[in-house]
Amino acid sequence: MSRPTPLGPGGRPLRGWRFLPLLLALGAFAANGVILLSDRAPGFLSRLSRRIDAEVSRAAGATGIDVPGRNLGVPRSDFDVHVVIWAVAALLVGLAMWSWASLLLGNGLVFVGSVGLELAQSAFTSTRTVQFHDLLGNAVGVFTGTCAVAAYALAYRLLRTRRSPISP
């Protein structure tokens, strides 16, 4: 009788490759740190944020949503950039985890690290400041990445149990 895979991220295929997303997560965290602690980042993030906002407006227009003046109420900070960079970091950390507890702990540490980097901006940069919308973007990004991994783990578990039911 085969033992079922654990109900958690560890039940995914290619478990032996966990070190790769972990290395990528460490790289993403380091890159996020460089971006957030750089005095040149506001110009780069502003351009990136405008590009993301333009794509959101274009997608909304393509679906027929009326967007007067193309303003979707997205804050003018780099909120969307924070969501994306921290969602990627949380997703990579989540793919490296082997249980629900380690997923929550790992991504909890990602969020704490993101807050630490945000708070460090005032000490290590001369042009960056701590902004509530950035912290909120960090939280939304980490939550989104964590939910994506959880959804993937649950979907994989459901598909796997449908293909090979456990016999008593």
Q: Domain limits of the chain?
A: 15-39+77-162
6 φψ region: left (φ > 0), alpha (ψ -120 to 50), beta (else): beta
pTM (2 d.p.): 0.69
Return the SS3 of 131.
Answer: coil
Q: Average pLDDT over the chain, rounded to whole? A: 76
**Along the 168 residues of the chain, how does pLDDT read in single tens digits?**
455 555 555 555 556 677 888 889 999 989 888 888 777 655 555 565 555 555 555 655 555 555 555 554 444 468 888 999 999 999 999 988 878 888 899 999 999 999 999 998 888 887 778 889 999 999 999 999 999 999 988 888 888 777 665 555
- CA–CA separation, 79 vs 134, rounded Å? 5
CB-CB contact of 29 with 110 (8 Å)? yes
- CA–CA separation, 124 vs 122, rounded Å? 6
Torsion of Cα atoms, 14 then 97 then 87 then 112, to 10°: -160
